[in-house]
């Protein structure tokens, strides 16, 4: 049985006016059939708020961290719903712009069964895709401990891509650690542009959280040692974490060999979407609390597992009490 003691570092000491994590990205309205199956057979749709960056911020907020979101939504009811939902989860939305000229994006999500999920986007030309470097609040980014970005935002438009590179520059100038999840979305851009841009962003980041399929796409391998060897050629990257889903995760620190961290098995996966965002939330929470790298990754695996057991992108994100209860349980109990 694995025990997880709540360390003294969980008693947070925050500076006034600082953010633990600031993220930049688009959040949309997700429309999902009330019953699993093909969209063509749906008689009703359930609207939910969904976005990779806000999923992670919500997870962090529920775990007691101060988080801020930089984005844009349309001046429409969908945008109002998104802001109200995100703000209601304790995330600072002071730097979310309301665009008078462009609408908030939406997408349809089909959960067909046995974990099979299909997504169709209607986000081209959205308010968020029109963001540019002038939308970056420099002092806000500099106030953070971590800047969290994904590869989705630079895929939205050329101006968004330039904005992300500028945000990283601002962070690095101020000693803010950059955490990057490539979060590959093939539907949003061409393969050559995606590979070139995402590789560059990996090389500019302090910590890279990458999936096995993304490692294969970017570097031609799923092996942690090989991905790390490639990224450690950059003087910036110091930690590479390879997410392996049901197999857990592996990680490599600069100058050290790779290590494997076991997954928390889940018998029934209700909705796999958001698991990677949950992993990022759990991992960053551990890092913010001063835990060792392996324990932070273990927390990431736990939160990712918990997210898959609930329908919705972020609804399964736990608070501290639920997470510590989950971490202290025997693995056989988790499977029942």
Residues with catalytic annotation? 277
At residue 45, φ and ψ (nearest 5 deg) are -125, 140
Q: 234 and 204 in contact (C-beta within 8 Å)?
A: yes
At residue 201, φ and ψ (nearest 5 deg) are -65, -40
The CA distance from 91 to 15, in Å, is 17
The CA distance from 184 to 214, in Å, is 7
At residue 58, φ and ψ (nearest 5 deg) are -65, -45
Helix extents (H) in 186-251? 191-203, 212-219, 224-231
- Of 281, 303, 210, nearest in space to 54 by CA: 281
DSSP-based three-state secondary structure for 65: coil
- Buried b / exposed e over 203-229, threshold 16 CB at 10 Å, is bbbbbbbbbbebbebbbeebbbebbbe
- Of 138, 189, 192, 193, nearest in space to 168 by CA: 138
Q: Which helix (H) or strand (E) holds 304?
A: helix 293-308
- Of 191, 33, 59, nearest in space to 117 by CA: 33
Which residues sit opposite 73 in a β-bridge? 98
């Amino acid at each position: 049985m694995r025990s997880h003691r709540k360390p003294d570092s969980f008693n947070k000491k925050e500076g006034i006016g600082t953010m633990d994590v600031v993220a930049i990205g688009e959040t949309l309205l997700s429309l999902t059939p009330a019953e699993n199956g093909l969209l063509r057979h749906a008689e009703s749709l359930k609207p939910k708020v969904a976005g990779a960056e806000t999923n992670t911020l919500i997870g962090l907020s529920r775990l007691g961290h101060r988080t801020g979101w930089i984005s844009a939504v349309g001046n429409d009811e969908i945008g109002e719903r998104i802001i109200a939902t995100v703000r209601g989860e304790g995330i600072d939305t002071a730097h979310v712009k309301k665009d008078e000229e462009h609408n908030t994006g939406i997408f349809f999500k089909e959960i067909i069964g046995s974990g099979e999920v299909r997504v169709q986007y209607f986000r081209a030309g959205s308010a968020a895709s029109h963001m540019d470097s002038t939308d970056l609040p420099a002092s806000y980014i500099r106030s953070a401990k971590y800047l969290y970005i994904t590869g989705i935002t630079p895929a939205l438009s050329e101006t968004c891509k330039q904005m992300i590179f500028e945000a990283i520059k601002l962070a690095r100038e101020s000693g803010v650690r950059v955490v990057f999840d490539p979060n590959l979305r093939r539907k949003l851009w061409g393969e050559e542009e995606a590979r070139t841009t995402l590789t560059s962003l990996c090389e500019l980041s302090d910590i890279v959280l990458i999936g096995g399929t993304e490692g294969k796409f970017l570097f031609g391998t799923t092996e942690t040692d090989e991905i790390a060897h490639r990224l450690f050629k950059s003087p910036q990257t110091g930690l590479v974490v390879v997410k392996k889903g049901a197999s857990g995760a592996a990680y490599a620190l600069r100058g050290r060999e790779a290590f494997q961290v076991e997954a928390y098995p889940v018998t029934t996966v209700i909705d796999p979407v958001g698991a990677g965002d949950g992993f990022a939330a759990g991992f960053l929470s551990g890092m913010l609390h001063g835990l060792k790298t392996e324990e932070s990754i273990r927390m990431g695996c736990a939160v990712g597992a918990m997210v898959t057991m609930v329908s919705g992108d972020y609804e399964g994100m736990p608070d501290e009490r639920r997470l510590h209860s989950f971490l202290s349980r025997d693995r056989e109990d988790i499977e029942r």
